[in-house]
């Protein structure tokens, strides 16, 4: 009987001093698992074949529904709201804070309400009253994961840049392990929040609805542990590199069909995370098992492993970075 997969905390586990595997990119699977369980990695969050695994994480809300739908909450369709509305950062506040450098607030561009201009926005200014307190509080673990992930991806890219700019410091190996389903849910939160805050648009006009299918309740996927339909969710294109992508920024491109949002691309520097609310048309699109940042002239490993409960995910490589 196959062993049950272990759970993965709502954390991003990082290591830069690991013993390398001789067979593949990343740590030696005979070493202790990064999650801190003290078991060997191949007996914990990886299989002997090098597939990164974790059981389906628990729902963000698993108590009884409140039966109340707050009219201003974007999760109201689940009739599971509290009676107080709260401010939600659809781009997580901890990502925003990381872009607040040298006392200068980040610049935002591209939102329909900016009418083509750029604006310096503080952390508070980026929050909108679009979620009830109950739904908002339940999303905190996703924001925490996204913030840690953003920081690690940024560090990885800056460190790779240092291989050609030594004054930035030495470039070390870097390994990252996190839950694939949780990252996928954070993208869904971002898409629903982007629409609710009227930040998503086409030709300068805000988009008001999200495309879904009969029988698919996105609020139940986000908060109640319902699963994405097959081939929906996080995906990536092989070898897609944006050399202009600066790690000091986050980009969001919304995708639409008939003025309804059907997904988005989120750019963490050169790393593209795509969420599809539907089966991707492009056959070159895969569901990622890992991301690898690379520079042909160096021997430095930058490797992100996404642990999934199911098989069928493929590794992605990003070359010529830094």
Going by C-alpha positions, the residue among 70, 67, 89 that lies closest to residue 146 is 89
CB of 132 to another protein, least distance (A): 25
Q: Examine residue 94 and tell whether it contacts another protein (CB under 8 A).
A: no
Going by C-alpha positions, the residue among 225, 307, 317, 264 that lies closest to residue 35 is 307
Nearest-5° Cα angle at 241, 236 to 242: 115
Q: The tokens 């609805």 sit on which residue?
A: 209
Q: Examine residue 118 and tell whether it contacts another protein (CB under 8 A).
A: yes
CB of 54 to another protein, least distance (A): 30
CB of 253 to another protein, least distance (A): 5
Indicate which single residue of 38, 281, 299, 311 sits in contact with another protein (rule: CB under 8 A): 281
Give how far Cα 297 sits from Cα of 117, 167, 293, 320, 321, Å: 40, 18, 12, 9, 11
Segment contacting another protein (CB under 8 A): 91-99, 173-181, 283-291, 307-315?
91-99
Distance of CA 107 to the CA centre of its chain: 21
Q: Examine residue 255 and tell whether it contacts another protein (CB under 8 A).
A: yes
Measured from the CB atom, is 57 or 280 closer to another protein?
280
Give how far Cα 108 sits from Cα of 7, 87, 89, 115, Å: 37, 18, 14, 12
Indicate which single residue of 48, 79, 217, 257 sits in contact with another protein (rule: CB under 8 A): 257
In a 3-state reduction of DSSP, which class is residue 268? strand
CB of 185 to another protein, least distance (A): 20
Indicate which single residue of 7, 93, 202, 241 sits in contact with another protein (rule: CB under 8 A): 202
CB of 203 to another protein, least distance (A): 8
Segment contacting another protein (CB under 8 A): 31-39, 159-167, 214-222, 257-265?
257-265
Binding-site string for another protein from residue 214 to residue 253, where x marks contact by CB under 8 A and - marks none: --------------------------------x-xxxxxx
Give how far Cα 16 sits from Cα of 24, 130, 159, 295, 304, Å: 16, 39, 11, 17, 12
Binding-site string for another protein from residue 133 to residue 172, where x marks contact by CB under 8 A and - marks none: ----------------------------------------
Q: Are 234 and 187 in contact (CB under 8 A)?
A: yes
Segment contacting another protein (CB under 8 A): 31-39, 53-61, 117-125, 307-315?
117-125
Structural element, H or E, at residue 73 = none
Structural element, H or E, at residue 288 = strand 288-293
Indicate which single residue of 109, 209, 297, 319 sits in contact with another protein (rule: CB under 8 A): 109
Total residues binding another protein (CB under 8 A): 46
Going by C-alpha positions, the residue among 9, 2, 7 that lies closest to residue 53 is 7
Residues 6+ apart with CB under 8 A from 214: none
Indicate which single residue of 79, 101, 125, 165 sits in contact with another protein (rule: CB under 8 A): 101
Residues forming contacts to another protein in the complex (CB under 8 A) are 91, 95-96, 99-112, 118, 120-121, 126, 194, 199-204, 207, 246, 248-258, 261-263, 278, 281
């Amino acid at each position: 009987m196959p062993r049950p997969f272990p759970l993965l905390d709502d954390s991003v586990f990082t290591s830069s001093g690991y013993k390398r595997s001789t067979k593949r990119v990343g740590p030696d699977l005979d070493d202790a698992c990064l999650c801190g369980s003290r078991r060997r990695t191949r007996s914990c969050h990886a299989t002997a074949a090098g597939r990164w695994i974790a059981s389906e994480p628990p729902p963000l809300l698993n108590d009884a529904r409140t039966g109340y739908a707050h009219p201003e909450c974007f999760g109201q369709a689940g009739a599971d709201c509290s009676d107080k509305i709260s401010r939600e950062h659809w781009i997580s506040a901890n990502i925003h804070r990381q872009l607040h450098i040298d006392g200068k607030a980040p610049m935002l561009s591209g939102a329909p309400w900016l009418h083509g201009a750029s604006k310096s926005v503080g952390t508070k200014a980026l929050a909108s009253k679009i979620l009830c307190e109950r739904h908002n509080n339940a999303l905190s673990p996703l924001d925490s994961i996204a913030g840690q992930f953003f920081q690690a991806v940024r560090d990885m890219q800056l460190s790779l840049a240092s291989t050609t700019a030594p004054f930035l410091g030495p470039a070390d190996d870097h390994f990252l392990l996190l839950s694939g389903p949780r990252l996928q849910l954070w993208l869904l939160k971002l898409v629903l929040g982007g629409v609710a805050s009227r930040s998503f648009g086409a030709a300068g006009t805000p988009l008001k609805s999200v495309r879904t299918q009969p029988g698919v309740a996105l609020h139940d996927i986000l908060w109640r542990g319902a699963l994405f339909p097959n081939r929906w969710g996080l995906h990536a294109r092989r070898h897609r590199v944006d050399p202009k992508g600066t790690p000091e920024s986050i980009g969001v491109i919304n995708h639409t069909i008939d003025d309804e949002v059907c997904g988005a691309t989120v750019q963490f520097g050169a790393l593209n995370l795509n969420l599809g609310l539907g089966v991707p048309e492009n056959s070159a699109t895969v569901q990622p098992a890992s991301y690898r940042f690379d520079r042909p002239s160096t021997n430095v490993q930058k490797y992100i492993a996404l642990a999934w409960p199911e098989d069928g995910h493929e590794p992605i490589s990003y070359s010529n970075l830094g």
